[in-house]
Every structure is written in C-alpha cells, then in structure tokens.
Structure 1
Amino acid sequence: MLSHAHEIFLEVAQRLSFTKASQALFISQSAVSKQVKALEEHYKTGLFERLGGSVLLTPAGQRLYQKLLQAKQLQQELQQEMSELTPAFAPAVHLLIGASTTISLYVLPPVVAAWLRQHPQHQLSLKNRNSDNILKALLEHEIELGIIEGIHKVSNVTYTPLLTDEVVAVCAAANPLAGRQLAVSDLLSIPLALREVGSGTLAVLEEALEQHHLRLAALPVRVRLGGTEALKNFVRVEATCLAFLPRQAVLKELASGELVEVKIKDLFLQRKFNFIQRKGTENGGPYREFLRFTQRYYSAKE
C-alpha cells in the first residue's frame, strides 16, 4: 500500500497545484505541504520547484511520480487478484472516472447505481466534461478510466467499445421546421444552435457534413452552448433554431412533444461511445471490472 504521504504527493504531481490537491483530498493546504516536506526530507532532495505562481516537478520529483504511478497500478492489480482468490478480501476502492456530457447525464447514472449496490464498500467520483477534456484528464492522470464519443487517434490510449448512439436534429414544436423533411443543402439557410468546440456531438455533425462537401463554418450558426442540457433548454424555447442533440438526451422531450425530430435526408449521424484507458493500465482490477460491468449492463438491454 502506498503511504499517505505518497498518495498526497501523487495528487500534487498530477495537478501541479498544492491548492487543487488539497481541495481534491478535502484537507488543508498546510497539511499537503507538510506531507510533501516530509517526503523531501526522507529522500533528501526537493521534489517540486516553485516558479512564481507555477509548480513544477524536479527531476527527482518526476522520477518519484513515474515510479508511484507504476506502484499504484501494481497495487490495483494485486487487490483484484487477491479478491478473486479470497472473496472475503474486499478492500475499499475509490474509482476516478470521467465521461463526456451525454454519457454522464444519460448513460452512466443507472450503471453507477447498480455498481454501488453490488460494491457498497467502493466509492466513485465522476468528472463530467466534453470528450476532448476527458481525454486530457486521462492523459494527465486526473482519472483512470474515461468514456467518450468517437476515437481521437491518440497513440498511447486504448479504446474499448461500449454503445452506439444517434444524433438527431430537433426543434421546438412551434418552429415552422417541425414535421418537415429537409435536404442537407437546406442547412445553409437555417439558423443553427450547436454545442461547443471539443464536443463529441459537434464532431459527429462536422464529420457527416464533410461527406456532403459542406463545412461547418459555412452554416449559419447563431449560438454555441456548452453542454447538452443548455442546448436542449435553449432550443425548447427558441422557435427559429435547429439543434443537433443525442437521441438519448431528448427521449422525454420527443415523447412529450416539447421537441420535434426533423428528418434530414441522407444525413447519418451515428457515433460510438468508447471507454478510454492509458496503455498499460487496462488490467487495473476495479476499473476493468467496472468496464465489463457496464458492457454487460447495456448488452442485457439490447
């Protein structure tokens, strides 16, 4: 088991901030500094260099950080193997997971609830960001497992399929577009409300438009909103804009008639939800178990 001081060092090294580490650990900044100082005295060298308002790892700090990441991975694998050999051994685990907006809001909640019922000794923290930022959080060791939309072609990341989802064009019931079928070229003259850059939903739309030799920049985008709920709430009350949203996110609104799906001929908007892990961490016991649990949960619903 890693010592308390080493766990605190990892938090500071991952975030390069004593303040953010103390907030994540729910302890005072002075307590964080005290533990880091104890490690520096133990190793007889500085682990962090403070330059103005920035915190950087020294060469010794960088070496310690890399070795502790390896030790953490081995610890997780050992706990998993021991729990398989000895069912009575059930250590408390805190899972650090991140997911893009749609997945966090509409896909994961029932899975997390079911998982925690089966593993009452476990804790789980879920970060909700767009796909680009979840990938960044994974690479910066803020999380150990992510679920995002699409594949971002990063060489040191492993992708594992979860679900296929559809993005649909929707508008308010009072919008004159309601009930119409559009051609792709019609989008050149229709006011659009879209997600922010970095969103997986936006990336799917952009890719589909390219198949029709259309650039997103050529379309009349009136507003970009950060987050599925913000965009959904906007298009419900704005009777001129067309929005593109995950079907998972608008099932209730389509059923109630608040929103209406607008068909666009030959525009296919499907995207895949994928687990992401840093290469070499795929066998991390509790994360591998959570990944498989989630796959089974949704396979049973198909």
Structure 2
Amino acid sequence: MQTTLKNPVTFTGVGLHSGKPARMTLRPAMPEHGIWFRRTDVLYKDALVPARWDAVNQSPLCTRLENAAGVTVSTVEHIMAALVGCGIHNALIDIDGPEVPILDGSSASFVRGLLMRGLREQDVPVRVIEILEPIEVRRGNAMARLEPNNGLRIDFHIDFADAAIGVQKKSLNMANGSFVRELCDSRTFCRQADVDTMQANGLALGGTLENAVVVDGDKVLSPGGLRHSDEAVRHKMLDALGDLALAGAPILGRYIGQRAGHALTNDLLRALFANPDAFRMVVCDRDLMARLPGVGVHLGEIPAVA
C-alpha cells in the first residue's frame, strides 16, 4: 500500500547555491497526492510546485523544479532520494525559500528525520512503472539508460581527472534497505577549482567543507576525509535515485549511468514517457514491493556518521 508520514518533520539549514537560510517541513498527505512542494513565502502566485519530471527546469548543478507561474524549488534531489529510499509516496513539503537546505550534503539527516517520525500505511495500492524495453540518452561522452529488470538496480560509472576521485563504478540492488545502508550518507562532491569558479559566478554560496567533499588533485580537503573510499560514485547513485523519483511512481528496471548528471537523467525520463511502448503501470503485490526501495528500512541501518 502507499505510505505517508505519521507526523510532520522539519529541517533547517542553508541552500547550497543560494547560501540563504531555509526551513522545510514535510507533512502527511492523502493517498494519490504524490510529492508536492509549497513555497510558503510566495503570496501572490501559485505556490505549489510538483515533484515531477515534466516540471524540471534543467540545470547542470542541481535539480530545479518550476511551476507554470515561474515559482521554483532547487536542489530537490537529496530529499527526493530520501523519500523514495524510505518508501514514502505522499507528502506535502512546505519550504520558505527557493532552495532545499543542504544539511551535510547527503540524505542521511533527511532519512533519520523521516524514520524517527514513522510511516503510515494508506488504503490505496502502489503502482509502479515497469520498464519493458531499453531507453537510452546521450550527451557527449555521458550516457543514461533504463532497461528491464526484476527490481530496481542502479549501476554507475564515473571518471574524474582528480586522483582523489579517479575512476569509480558501483552496482547496487536497491531493495531491502540498501539505500539507507549503502548510499544515504554519501555527500555531494566537487573540485576546489570548480568551487572557485562557481562562487565567482554567484553559485555555491552556501558551500563549505562541512557540507560537501572538496578535492584538489589527490587531496581531500574536507575535514575527516571520505566516508567511503568510493563516496563520489555512491553520491552519484543517490542523485540518480532522487532524480528518478520524479517519475511519479517507483521504477521497476535497471538504471545505468556513465558520467551522467541531473539533466541527463531528466532527459531519460522524458524519453521514457515519450515512448508508451517502453513501459507499463503495474499494481504492486507484496512480492513486487519487496524488490523496490523502502521496504524494511529502520533507524539502526543509518550509518553512524549521520
């Protein structure tokens, strides 16, 4: 069955790119509501912004949603990953500004807050998007692909010149709480040279060594170093899960990303929904639900660093 939160939960922090204070409260919602953001600081326009693939206003640095009135919410990928990773289908997210708080740069604090409030099962079954035939999109040397699979699997490959990252690849079956155990504490990352360029152009104004992994050649500049030797590729998988959550329903299929980013994953969803022969909607039974993220997760599985 579909689920929502038992009680509201609030997160406060700053936006990674805007540097502005942000307060965000997730509230329970009715079955079939889906995930919506509501800008509480917007008074004279439509303040509701859907967390949906066709509301994405593509940006290379984060996932930004925009409604027909031009109201936006940015950097939604980490909270979306937490929602799908915890198996939450319906929520109304109140936010008092244009960007989700970055917290520590991962999804771990979101996951902890959601699981502490608890989930409530609802009386409407979950429907999933079953991938029936491969869909692939490319931009230069980057590729993203969806293909049939009997559960949700994410495979990712990255290749960076900086030796602190280098070539990394990982494949993970997303069932049985693996997102919470394996991915949720992996932080966003960037090169020091990119930080300097972004801040010179008015971006990453809220970025610090405490909410992102910053590397310079073979050095990790963030205090405490890495949480995982392959933290970078794990975070890319976290981002991909959050961006795939904008499909509006869980996906039954295998996602393959090679140097892929937010915009390319959105391209992939647009290509998928433009081809009705490539997927079908399926009502979940217990066996199928057990092959998707969010089943059986609990607080004890969150890594200790969170």
Bigger radius of gyration among the two: 1
**What TM-score results when the alignment is normalised by the length of structure 2?**
0.21
* Structure having the larger proportion of residues in helix: 1
Higher relative contact order (CA 8 A, sep 6+): 2
Question: Which structure dedicates a bigger proportion of its chain to strand?
Answer: 2
